[in-house]
Amino acid sequence: MSSSPQPPATAEEQVDRANASGLTPVVFIHGLWLLPSSWDRWAAVFADAGYAPVAPGWPDDPDTVEEANAHPEVFAGKTVGQVADHYAAIIGKLDRKPAVVGHSFGGLLAQIVAGRGLSAATVAIDAAPFRGVLPLPVSALRAAAPVLGNPLNHHRAVPLTYDQFRFAFTNAVDEDEARALYEEFAVPASGAPLFQAATANLNPWTEAKADYRNPGRGPMLVMSGEKNNTAPPAITGAIFRKQQKNPGHTEAVTMPDRGHSLVIDHGWREVCDVSLAFVRRWAP
């Protein structure tokens, strides 16, 4: 008789394990429409490289894609500020300052916690924009339309259809892989962060802001996929120019022919290796 799969480790268990290891932690932050399991392969690579991976979910994240799709309501109402505070609290329990790697809205959250001086080195991949980032490419608006098209979605959890996921995430892979990724990874997401990002430049009190001038921000790599529809290079380039105002080290890398699924699709290892090389330089 086969045993049932073990549930993923809780955030507390991952922190305890990282602290007991004595190794430099690396905190992975996922974005909308994904779960922490999207980082499983990355965590294994970083562990093999001598780091202590910590990949906690957003508040109330279910353990599996199946649970998430069965109970979408658990995602509703999560805001950028709430989730940033959640990750800051987790980082505060680590004995050593971690490197932080984030994708999409996780990339924005990584920049927020870095701006609070909580990161030894940060990798922001296809990050969502923060206040002061002005470009609004048509593809980004179309990718966000399933949420922004209905004001009531601000307080809801919103799933993506396959066609919506295909445009927003997997436009740079073939049809078979796109369908496989949708089945394996796609979950509903809180609508609130997209409304916060969309109105950030109109709201002086927005939670969607990063302190890119803080001298304690630490080194940062801003990475983008060349063919990304959700966070096109115009957005990532504007993020990089803002982050360059920091006195710390800031780099930018564009991954050719890659879309928003670059952290989970067939080319994930190349993106992971670029991220690992940066972390190794600044948070050994």
User: 5 pLDDT band (50/70/90 cuts)?
Assistant: low
150-181 confidence digits (pLDDT tens): 999 999 999 999 999 999 999 999 999 999 99
User: Which residues lie below 8 Å from residue 176, measured CB to CB, with a gap of 6+?
Assistant: none
3-state SS of the chain is: CCCCCCCCCCHHHHHHHHHHHCCCEEEEECCCCCCHHHHHHHHHHHHHCCCEEECCCCCCCCCCHHHHHHCHHHHCCCCHHHHHHHHHHHHHCCCCCCEEEEECHHHHHHHHHHHCCCCCEEEEECCCCCCCCCCCCHHHHHHHHHHHCCHHHHHCEECCCHHHHHHHCCCCCCHHHHHHHHHHHCCCEECHHHHHHHCHHHCCCCCCCCCCCCHHHCCEEEEEECCCCCCCHHHHHHHHHHHCCCCCCEEEEEECCCCCCCCCCCCHHHHHHHHHHHHHHHCC
How far is residue 55's CA from residue 42's CA, in Å, rounded to a whole number?
Answer: 10
The band of 1, judged by pLDDT with boundaries at 50, 70 and 90, is very low
Instruction: Confirm whether pTM is higher than 0.85.
Output: yes
Average pLDDT, the chain: 96
* Token pair listed for 30: 């996922």
Which pLDDT tens digit goes with each residue over 56-82? Answer: 999 999 999 999 999 999 999 999 999
Neighbours of 72 (CB within 10 A): 17
Please give the average per-residue pLDDT across 243-253, as a whole number.
Answer: 97
Residue with more model confidence, 7 or 257: 257
Q: What is the pLDDT of residues 116-152, one digit of tens each?
A: 999 999 999 999 999 999 988 889 989 999 999 999 9
Q: How large is the average pLDDT for residues 89-96?
A: 98
Q: pLDDT tens digits, residue range 180-217?
A: 999 999 999 999 999 999 999 999 999 999 999 999 99
pLDDT at 2 over 60: no
- Give one word for 160, left, alpha or beta, with left for phi > 0 and alpha for psi -120 to 50: beta
